[in-house]
Amino acid sequence: MSSRSELRPGSLAPAAKLSAGKTSVLIGRGLLAGVPLPERGALLYDAGLPDSWSAALPALEQRLAVPAGEQAKTLAVYEQVLRRLADWALPRGAELLAVGGGCTTDLAGFVAATYLRGVALRLIPTTLLAMVDAAVGGKTALNLPEGKNLVGAFWPPEAVYIDPLLLSTLPEAAFKDGQVEMFKHGLLDGAAWPGRFFSPEDVASEQLERAITASVTFKAGVVARDPQERSGLRAQLNLGHTLGHALEAWSGHRLSHGQAVALGLHFMALLSEALGGSGVASETAALLRWLRPPLLCPPELAPLLPWMARDKKADLQGLRFTLLRAPGQPYLERVPQGLLASTYAAFLRSSAQLGLV
């Protein structure tokens, strides 16, 4: 691993500073302006950032825009970035600084993990989803035509800078998507959810900053205890994602990640209750009433099963779900297919009663 850039104490005044394993996570409104520049490094930034951002980006001479969204996470873009770094003769002691949403940080992470067998990385996430989830925890990923995130490595960044003011230019739908992951962290933690949803007008508020801090603190704690998803603890962060990822893929990504996970969380709540857990279905119903995702779901479970089989919690014995005994009490469980099918039918009925179409 290359030498780390010094975080100069005093050059930043974060409202919160915490550790996610070896990563320092700094959180605070207005933090972007104080992010220290590396002595030698390159900037990768999300081409989808609004034009108004260009003056705010860290002033590194060697800089490269990468395609917005999932288009960034291809082998072709990965190769282009590596070749540009090589063209710049960026040495091993140099650093990558990446600014963008979760797709940018996933790509930048894999580039950092592999260029010259690894260079240091710092991340400035610009979407709420990347702030509370994708940029924290060292997962990096590219997609293959065969599926999402099939190529990757664990490569924790040295630092993640979370500046909630950056959300002021985020489209409202993406702001809502990020809140689904915050809600999920709250169910897993039993405490990290502020008990309310935020609107774009709240971006500069202390309440949102505190809610982001609570959410990241929860995730950072899980990552610190199971950084490489070996003990099963980190797999619990996939709450709601087994059905969620399947719906996202089955719908051809017409459902956003947040919408699909919100539906998956409601299914998880009903499944947990069917297995004797104390209910969170009223909370997940409230999530669906707030988010109002389209009910883009097949009438039977069967078409979703091939997608669910690719879930990374599946092992040689088959599918496993993260479920809740109660808020703050997650566990991993194998579920018989008959119960999955009947709960799926109950989930469709409940979602229709909530007015989803």
In the set 122, 185, 257, 266, the catalytic residue is 257
Active site residue 201: no
Tokens of 91: 């040495």
CA distance 142 to 113: 12
CA distance 333 to 322: 6
Cβ distance to ligand GLY smaller for residue 28 or 102: 102
CA distance 245 to 147: 11
Instruction: Check binding of 133 to ligand GLY (CB under 6 A).
Output: yes
Cβ distance to ligand GLY smaller for residue 149 or 342: 149
- In the complex, the smallest distance separating the C-beta of residue 237 from ligand GLY, rounded to whole angstroms, is 4
**Beta-strand (E) ranges in 21-66?**
23-27, 41-46, 63-66
- Site residues (CB under 6 A) for ligand GLY, limited to 229-248: 234, 237
Instruction: Check binding of 257 to ligand GLY (CB under 6 A).
Output: no
CA distance 306 to 340: 14
Active site residue 333: no
| Residue type for position 282 | S
From 98-106, 133-141, 196-204, 254-262, span contacting ligand GLY (CB under 6 A)? 133-141
In the set 73, 245, 266, 320, the catalytic residue is 245
Active site residue 257: yes
| Sign of the C-alpha dihedral computed for residues 161, 165, 168 and 171 taken in this order | positive
Residue 29 · residue 164 · CB < 8 Å:
yes
In the set 8, 61, 117, 230, the catalytic residue is 117
From 132-140, 155-163, 186-194, 266-274, span contacting ligand GLY (CB under 6 A)? 132-140
- In the complex, the smallest distance separating the C-beta of residue 135 from ligand GLY, rounded to whole angstroms, is 10
Residue 198, Cβ neighbours under 10 Å: how many? 21
In the set 73, 122, 139, 184, which binds ligand GLY (CB under 6 A)? 139
Active site residue 266: no
Tell me what percent of the chain is helix, strand and coil, each rounded to the nearest 5. 45, 15, 35
Which stretches of the chain bind ligand GLY, using CB under 6 A? 133, 137, 139, 234, 237
Residues labelled as active-site residues: 117, 139, 181, 219, 229, 234, 238, 241, 245, 257
